[in-house]
Structure 1
Amino acid sequence: MAILVDPPRWPAHGTVWAHLVSDTSLVELHAFARSNGVPRRAFDLDHYDVPAERIDDLVEAGAERVEGRVLLSRLRGSGLRVRGADRADETARRRRAELAGRWAALVDEPPPGWAELGEELIARWSEPHRRYHDLVHLHDVLRHLDDLGDDGEEVTRSVRLAAWFHDAVYDGVPGVDEEASAMLAEDRLRTVGVPAAEVTEVSRLVRLTAGHSPGPDDPAGAALCDADLAILAAAPARYRIYGSAVRAEYAHVPDADFRRGRAAVLADLLGHDRLFTTAAGFRRWEQRARENIAAELGALQS
């Protein structure tokens, strides 16, 4: 039983990265990562990506340095290796499983119909016409809420429920989709016995995502809107995937019209004093989001 780390050889984000694995179990790997401050978002199916500057600390904590071929051989021998050909399917399977677990964790004692409602929402977010507003986006928003909560922002159950419902109805009609999603939340949450005041708050938050303009005294709205917009601060490669997915959702719009409309949206975003309202969101995402938006806007205008 061992935690293994190979030499750092993969450059990205201004550093060089190595792989951290277990040759026995993912439980052991996650426990080691957690106890040594390696964030869960660095986990990629069968390994953690760790920057070169962390390797000495991880070895001191008990990880074993090995060559890359040795790490791969022992990972395969453990049965934990996820082959390249299987990674997309395995990623999707684990995402759905994690989302089901997150939904279940929102209540201490699931009322009748709670699990079925979670299944309905996952099915809605899996609709085939979605390209950006899909399960990946839902998963991202919930993880971004985790990040904000870890940084001290208030993230209530109402905020998390609103994240589940905020694009549960998606037909590509801004404003109309948010209203329909809010009405769905009102209907379904009442049915499973969520208190009336919380249902009202969830539907308010869902409607707020139509404009992403929370008031100064609305920490719940600020957290949800910041988490929803955090994709704007993605790494450049991921941001390009996001842009392509948005374009795919508007495939029915002629290219020239889409470019004009998208450019107008981006210019409006850059005109805001702040894209992110929470202190943690501003610190985490503001600068990189502005860089991404400016680069995309320049490409559209050229």
Structure 2
Amino acid sequence: MAILIDPPLFEAHGRRWSHLVSDTDLEELHAFARGCGLPARGFEGDHYDVPEERYAAVVAAGARPTDVRTLLRALVASGLRLPKRRGDTGVARVPDVHLPDGTVADIDLVRSGREVEPRRTFAAMAFVRDAAGDHVVVHSVRRDQWGPPGGWREAGESVRENAVRELREETGLVVAPETLVPVGYERFRVTATGPLWRPGQDLLQLYAVDLPTVRPAFGERLDGVDGCRWVSWAELEALCAGEFYWPILAAVLGPDPAGW
């Protein structure tokens, strides 16, 4: 097992950066980063970004210097690489998630201000925030859990229409499709297929929407949802922090988000 770091050659935000990876295990990588005092926000799904001024200290702590190509080959060979489009930000890979229909998948959580390919998108979810900064959660009967409103896409509807319909059906709140802001996506790497899984569709689109009023009243909702609440950030964390999607929800909605 080894922790690898490449030279600080990549320029962003007025600084130069290195990439820090493990060739075996993400937990090993996280433990090493904590020991070096690297902030959690520096993790991008499969590596930590390390500013040039920290490079020498990280090498002194035990990271093995290597060139960019060798580091990338080691990351790919480890199976830990999280592919993403240029400009997207990897948040986490959550392994072995069991879905209600029996589907099992490793799920990549990726931040992005761009929508993903509609032909690959099977569902959408909306992170809804009111004018006071509170959040909407609904309780799914089928999953027996609280979370943001969302669900499977129906035939003939666009991905945005999918998100708007699910929000209306689960909360009674109505928003215009153009108010939805793309903030990321979930990519499902399926290892066991359940009866509801759609071959060729592996993406769930994530949107955010800010409402202009404080805690607007909920309307009628479908039978699949038996609870709907406005909650504070602390309440949202208490309800959802154990769910697989929590890392990206926290990255988007948390106390110090990068912005929608």
Same fold (TM over 0.5): no
Structure with bigger gyration radius: 1
Q: How high is the TM-score relative to the length of structure 1?
A: 0.39
Structure with higher helix content? 1
Q: How high is the TM-score relative to the length of structure 2?
A: 0.45
Greater RCO structure (CA 8 Å; 6+ sep): 2
